[in-house]
Chains A and B, each alone.
Chain A
């Protein structure tokens, strides 16, 4: 590698790492005050449109059938858009575009997993569920299992999954609205909650479905416009566009920052190319496979997605709706590749990451840039439009989740368990609305209480619980003759319980003692340690749990400012200027990086200075994570399946056996699906 390119790389690293320390970063507001009116205008028009839909829907909601299942009146195509709307939540629209803009290839890996989950939905879940169920997961499980027990455990699981998913959406939504239009976090959470409650209480599933459809169409249109603007200059050629990504200096700088010292021997072109290769974000191979399992098996167990199959008239329409949903969702995820890379080359990973660490603002900022930038009318209009669509996304997805939990409480627990099914139509409607309001208020409270918490792992956790509890129970009830009540109850409880427990002892939680120790190491320095080899006998278990020693690479020596006097002097120009310039740049990088680490370490120490060592534990009272993976799927999913099988084989249940033929014929043929259910 020649000196010229070496210098370029070093300069890139230097500007990146010194920027936050040497220059005060510009305080960023997404929309300047003079364009606030525009943001409000766009937001109000979209909210007004959804309120009109709710008003129209409220006249059509007369029975519980309408409230929970939109009177089976939704067509396959409409339901496909609604499913896509439910699935393209803020996490996938803003989150994946953001991850791609910050980490390149690894961000795109999420898209693939999210889409592949629909194959299981299409092939084994959608049609049988439509043929067997009425409103809820509980209906499916109660068919041949003990109805009360099955409904109770199904409701518990539905509420758990919904609350995890919902908390992530509420917190994400609060932060998004706050960043975009500058109103308080609490106010935005209440706004999201109130609007969502209006859809659900007045319009039930009819309003929720049509709002989802409108929102999904707007989202796809907005993305298509952005992608066209991004891709047009390259003549819609994929290699030409990606060549531009690879050659972009902001992208190269981002890779250099992510790779740290490993980048110093790479040319600028190599750094850019690295952005298109795996490994910048996802590092632990087993964790990746575990996440993949949760995504692929979890989608089929998400209660708000399952509920959508009850809104269509028959299995054929259910099938059609999944095929449409896969076309829309897949097409959208291909677009995220361009949104993410487009944001990386036009806005730059540093700016995106500077505003929001998770990269959630990538798509809105790209819209602003493409419209003409921060100070243009069109730029701010496009930003406001994308932001309003994202806001509608959060409100609509939360509405679907609240409806799923409310149906579990009102239909499964209240009507069928407490009242034994002896309630009038009017009482059922009342129960449904009261349950919706209660869940909605709880959602708002959780959203406010979870302010500032790291909720990114909650979506992964929702998928993991759905995959370990709901999927084994539904799947084996529908396809395995020997499956019975005890199996379903124990499988769901153990599957969900193990998934939650493993997350609670995983690195997702905050471990104050480790933070304090790390901070002290940075301030005081540490001597390097040689690599540790794993004991051969313990193998795979050590990849998962920390109670035995896993093989670890050698730890480098941690330096403090005192241990690098030469570099300090160089930076402070206390040494003659005949030092070669690249040496000075190298020294600047080193000192700036050290100063940044020290600042962070001091902050961490200050946070915990008033607590004794015994108080310095995680929520579970742990000093360090017991479980190594961030996603529990690789253990909890097989465990969930295993427990259903085991407890079914150990026990005998006459009802489950007697009803097997009826269930199996009906799930396959749809025989008397209407006649029997009313």
Chain B
């Protein structure tokens, strides 16, 4: 928390400017914001359609099950799918790349 506690030898600005960090944070951000945006649009379609497009939700598709129920259930599938996709990519890729940076951090000195 306090700046005085920071171990000597890490040059934060240099690490931040390191091309590996720049590439990592750019790719990570792009990936995160895309998923976040998709989730928000997909979720808000539900209250918007229950408010303004009830006729579509009332269409029966499978016995008494209507589009509205399927749409609500699909939100669960989407939420889980996003969690799994993100966790897989983060575990396989982002973790390894940030670990490599952390290992090398003491040697990154010059701001490029």
Contacts and interface: CB of A to CB of B under 8 A. Distances in A.
A676 to B, nearest CB: 5
Contacts of B63: 239-240, 242-243
Interface stretch (A29-37, A321-329, A386-394): A321-329
Given A109-B50, A123-B36, A676-B6, A670 B98 contact: yes
A475 to B, nearest CB: 11
Interface residues on A, range: 35 or more
B18 to A, nearest CB: 9
Interface in B55-112: 57-58, 60, 62-66, 68-69, 72-73, 75-76, 79-80, 82-84, 86-87, 90-91, 95, 98, 101-102, 105
**By DSSP majority rule, is chain B's interface helix, strand, loop, or mixed?**
helix
B95 to A, nearest CB: 6
A550 B82 CA distance: 40
A238 B76 contact: no
A112 interface: yes
Interface stretch (A47-55, A282-290, A557-565): A282-290
Contact of A277 (B68, B75, B105): B68
A88 to B, nearest CB: 15
Contacts of B76: 112, 115, 330, 333-334
Contact of A105 (B40, B62, B69): B69
A626 interface: no
Given A296-B40, A316-B91, A676-B7, A273 B64 contact: yes
Contacts of B35: 119, 123
Contacts of B69: 105, 108, 242, 276
Interface in B1-17: 1-3, 5-7, 10, 12-13, 15-16
A292 B47 contact: yes
Contact of A278 (B44, B68, B101): B68
Contact of B52 (A238, A285, A320): A285
A672 interface: yes
Given A246-B64, A285-B52, A330-B80, A671 B105 contact: yes
Contacts of B54: 277-279
B101 A671 contact: yes
A142 B47 contact: no
A120 B57 CA distance: 27
Nearest to B53: A278
A330 B47 contact: no
Contact of B3 (A105, A291, A659): A659
A661 interface: yes
Nearest to A334: B76
Contact of B95 (A120, A243, A245, A316): A316
B59 to A, nearest CB: 10
Interface size class for chain B?
A: 35 or more
Contacts of B52: 285
Main secondary structure of the interface of A (DSSP, over half): helix
B57 A278 contact: yes
Contacts of A240: 63
Candidate in A122, A143, A288 with the most chain B CB atoms within 10 angstroms = A122
Nearest to B82: A119
A122 B86 contact: yes
Contacts of A282: 50
A118 B80 CA distance: 10
B57 A277 contact: yes
A122 B85 CA distance: 12
Contacts of A3: none
Contacts of A246: 64
Given A239-B63, A242-B65, A672-B7, A323 B101 contact: no
A269 to B, nearest CB: 9
B50 A279 contact: yes
A659 B4 CA distance: 12
Interface centre among B1, B58, B62, B101 (most CB of A within 10 A): B1
A292 B6 CA distance: 42
A30 B80 CA distance: 38
Contacts of A665: 12, 15-16, 21
Contacts of A245: 64
Minimum-distance CB pairs A-B, first 6: A285-B51, A239-B63, A278-B50, A669-B98, A662-B12, A661-B16
Given A661-B15, A670-B102, 7 more contacts: A115-B75, A122-B86, A243-B64, A285-B52, A319-B90, A333-B76, A676-B1
6 contacts: A120-B39, A124-B36, A288-B47, A326-B79, A659-B3, A664-B16
Interface of A: 105-106, 108-109, 112-113, 115-116, 118-120, 122-124, 134, 139, 142-143, 147, 238-240, 242-243, 245-246, 273, 276-279, 282, 285-286, 288-289, 291-292, 296, 316, 319-320, 322-323, 326-327, 330, 333-334, 421, 659, 661-662, 664-665, 668-672, 675-677
